[in-house]
Chain A
């Protein structure tokens, strides 16, 4: 069941093509958890009518998002948000985060935090994220 329908806003006279504006907005909604895997996005026709833009433009945005793996076509229902793709292995995922951790550690040591203080800081951050994730929507 879709929860409240996400609202899109486009500026026709922006230099950014309208389809790109829609792609960005859907990606933001997905990244922010406002649209979740399995959620139905409004049909091309609904969005085109609501925004007063050409249906082909909306169709192009949805196709682009499908090609990028953000949306998938669910026969009979329409376009839904895809399951998030996890990186292949733990090693890959570690590699992806490694440079960020290195930078944080370097910076922390540079400004005089002790290793214990740094670990405490990471724990705090994890704690905050956990409570965010468990917040009822």
Chain B
């Protein structure tokens, strides 16, 4: 039983390394059952956020809690319900795969031995081989066995697929989905590969410069942000401003405008005001991600002028 309805909860989380502010007031609430993708550029603060959540780093201000318990106070009882795959798993190279599984499982009273063996078998991990010379993909698979064997309620993955080839990646994601279908519950994973996120995540949280830009359903994001291609009979105003504009390029009688919050009245308004044709482009997550970052750099350029 958790007091909080949120599996993951942070409020105004701040983390600095020296003079550099890596997390700048992150408030994130994730209820049970979400598969949430943490999307951001390299260095945007994704890993730091994850480490604060897990109590591996102590925040300078604000609060972080997992399963209703303050992250810094997580005890064995809560940790037994959490599975974590770090960017690079720390494994003992001299142990064999079999010894590694036996060693890690001994820390968990909830370890499901049959399930662990099933995963090892299904993923063709060489039980008798030493961990040291395993390929990156195999090490990631092993790390996932170690994170799933105790049937966690919350699974946290930090760039789990960055170093995997497409086949291994697809396989990895399917396994995560399968465990979700089995009722693991909540999954948070960080990535900068948007196609993976689109496939398996229900929600996306965009992290930029240590701030949380957006946290909502992926579908909601796609329904909201659209690119409009406007063609008018006469020149359009150079300073064309539409409500919710993220980025706007005007060239003579044509304009391409990305807006957050497209609606029929908005489109009808444009058609009427400029007697223009308006085409609406659907954007995928990568395009949205780029539009948002372009908007930022465009705004910065304007300010700097």
A101 to B: closest C-beta gap in Å: 30
Q: List 6 A-B contacts (CB under 8 A).
A: A13-B194, A53-B177, A53-B199, A54-B35, A54-B199, A57-B202
- With A48-B177, A52-B173 in contact, is A15–B199 under 8 Å at CB? no
Contact with B along A38-69 (1 / 0, CB 8 A): 00000001001100111111001000000000
Q: How far is the CA of A48 from the CA of B180 in the complex (A)?
A: 11
Q: A56 contacts which chain B residues (CB < 8 A)?
A: 33, 35, 202
Q: How far is the CA of A53 from the CA of B222 in the complex (A)?
A: 17
A-contacting residues, B183-200, CB 8 Å:
194-195, 198-200
SS class, residues of chain B in contact with chain A: helix
Cross-chain contact B181 with A15 (CB below 8 angstroms): no
Q: B198 contacts which chain A residues (CB < 8 A)?
A: 12-13, 18
Cross-chain contact A48 with B281 (CB below 8 angstroms): no
Q: A53 contacts which chain B residues (CB < 8 A)?
A: 177, 199-200
**B173, B174, B180, B199: which contacts A55 (Cβ < 8 A)?**
B180
Closest Cβ neighbor of A16 among chain B residues: B282
Q: How far is the CA of A60 from the CA of B174 in the complex (A)?
A: 19
Closest Cβ neighbor of B220 among chain A residues: A17
B262 to A: closest C-beta gap in Å: 12
The verdict on B74 contacting chain A, using a C-beta distance below 8 Å, is: no
- With A54-B200, A56-B202 in contact, is A14–B174 under 8 Å at CB? no
Q: B35 contacts which chain A residues (CB < 8 A)?
A: 54, 56
A-contacting residues, B157-215, CB 8 Å:
170, 173-174, 177-178, 180-181, 194-195, 198-202
**A12, A18, A20, A45: which contacts B181 (Cβ < 8 A)?**
A45
Cross-chain contact B222 with A49 (CB below 8 angstroms): no
- With an 8 Å Cβ cutoff, the count of chain B residues facing the other chain is 27
Q: A48 contacts which chain B residues (CB < 8 A)?
A: 177, 181
A60 to B: closest C-beta gap in Å: 7
The verdict on B216 contacting chain A, using a C-beta distance below 8 Å, is: no
Q: A17 contacts which chain B residues (CB < 8 A)?
A: 218-219, 222-223
B86 to A: closest C-beta gap in Å: 23
Q: B195 contacts which chain A residues (CB < 8 A)?
A: 12-13
Known contacts A19-B219, A49-B181, A52-B200; 7 further A-B pairs (Cβ under 8 A): A13-B286, A14-B284, A15-B287, A17-B219, A18-B198, A55-B181, A60-B219
Contact with A along B262-305 (1 / 0, CB 8 A): 00000000000000000001111111000000000000000000
Cross-chain contact A52 with B284 (CB below 8 angstroms): no
A-contacting residues, B222-258, CB 8 Å:
222-223
Q: A13 contacts which chain B residues (CB < 8 A)?
A: 194-195, 198, 284-286
Q: A60 contacts which chain B residues (CB < 8 A)?
A: 219
B208 to A: closest C-beta gap in Å: 21
A115 to B: closest C-beta gap in Å: 40
Q: B180 contacts which chain A residues (CB < 8 A)?
A: 54-55
Q: A52 contacts which chain B residues (CB < 8 A)?
A: 170, 173-174, 177, 199-200
Q: How far is the CA of A54 from the CA of B173 in the complex (A)?
A: 10
Cross-chain contact A15 with B284 (CB below 8 angstroms): yes
Closest Cβ neighbor of A11 among chain B residues: B284
B155 to A: closest C-beta gap in Å: 14
- With A52-B199, A57-B202 in contact, is A15–B170 under 8 Å at CB? no
Q: A18 contacts which chain B residues (CB < 8 A)?
A: 198-199, 219
Q: B218 contacts which chain A residues (CB < 8 A)?
A: 17
Q: How far is the CA of A13 from the CA of B194 in the complex (A)?
A: 8
Cross-chain contact A15 with B282 (CB below 8 angstroms): yes
A120 to B: closest C-beta gap in Å: 41
B179 to A: closest C-beta gap in Å: 11
Q: B201 contacts which chain A residues (CB < 8 A)?
A: 54
Closest Cβ neighbor of A17 among chain B residues: B219
Cross-chain contact B282 with A49 (CB below 8 angstroms): no
Closest Cβ neighbor of B288 among chain A residues: A15
Q: How far is the CA of A17 from the CA of B287 in the complex (A)?
A: 14
Q: A45 contacts which chain B residues (CB < 8 A)?
A: 181
B169 to A: closest C-beta gap in Å: 11
